[in-house]
Amino acid sequence: MRLLDITHFYSEKGGGIKTYIQNKIEYLKDKEDIQHTLIIPGEEDGELFLKRTKIIKIKSPYFPFNNHYRLLINPVKLSNILKQEKPDVVEIGSPFLIPTVVNSKKESLKYKTVGFFHSNLESVVENINKIKGKIIVKKIARSYTYKTYSNLDLVIAPSYYVKNYLLDIGVQNVEVIYHGI
């Protein structure tokens, strides 16, 4: 099986997603029947191997107001990598741009999609803008989250609290898998 992970939320400087991915790489190192590829943003384009995982870095700018994370914004390059790698399963670890690109190629490239709900967009937007309680912000964030995750074959939530949030906004096919960090 060919498993391909894509995320914005991988930082060389550390963090929970980096730990999650490193644990997955460690777990998969002895799984001969699984070919694992990881696409992450980087300072420059590049390719390397860590254990048995192929890591593809796509040159990406930093997130606005945050120099720990970079934003994958090259849909053409991402599409070309999906075609080249021919995955059976694509795991999406970010709600921005990546799901749109991955879902647009899903039928033609015949892969299944899994989304790991690492970050609650509604809370992030509220915290950044200090606009807690604004109904319009909640509606927009919930609508975006629904549109982003409802087209995936499976959505993974890190807790039952998050699973219930996703179910409440209409996202189906949600299962709980703890990060294990």
- The model's pLDDT over 28-71, given as tens digits with 9 standing for 90+, comes to 999 999 999 999 999 999 999 999 999 999 999 887 777 777 88
* Residues 22 and 93 occupy one common structural domain: yes
What's the one-letter identity of residue 52? R
Co-location of 109 and 125 in the same domain: no
Q: Are 40 and 107 in the same domain? A: yes
Tokens standing for residue 82: 């999906």
168 plus 98 within the same structural domain = no
Q: What element of type H or E holds 25?
A: helix 16-28
| Higher per-residue pLDDT: 45 or 122 | 45
pLDDT digits (tens, 9 = 90+) for 60-111: 988 777 777 788 889 999 999 999 999 999 999 888 888 899 999 999 999 9
Low-confidence winner among 74-83, 128-137, 166-175 (lowest mean pLDDT): 128-137
Work out whether the CA dihedral 57, 63, 67, 68 comes out positive or negative.
negative
Q: How many CB atoms lie within 10 A of CB 94?
A: 22
Mean pLDDT of the chain: 86
Q: How many domains does one find in the chain?
A: 2
Do 111 and 141 fall into the same domain?
Answer: no
What pLDDT sits at residue 96? 80
- Per-residue confidence (pLDDT) for residue 181, from 0 to 100: 47
Q: Which of 89, 116, 143 is the C-terminal boundary of a domain?
A: 116
Q: What is the extent of the structural domain holding 3? A: 1-116
Are residue 13 and residue 31 in the same domain, yes or no? yes
User: Could you tell me the two tokens for 130?
Assistant: 């200090």
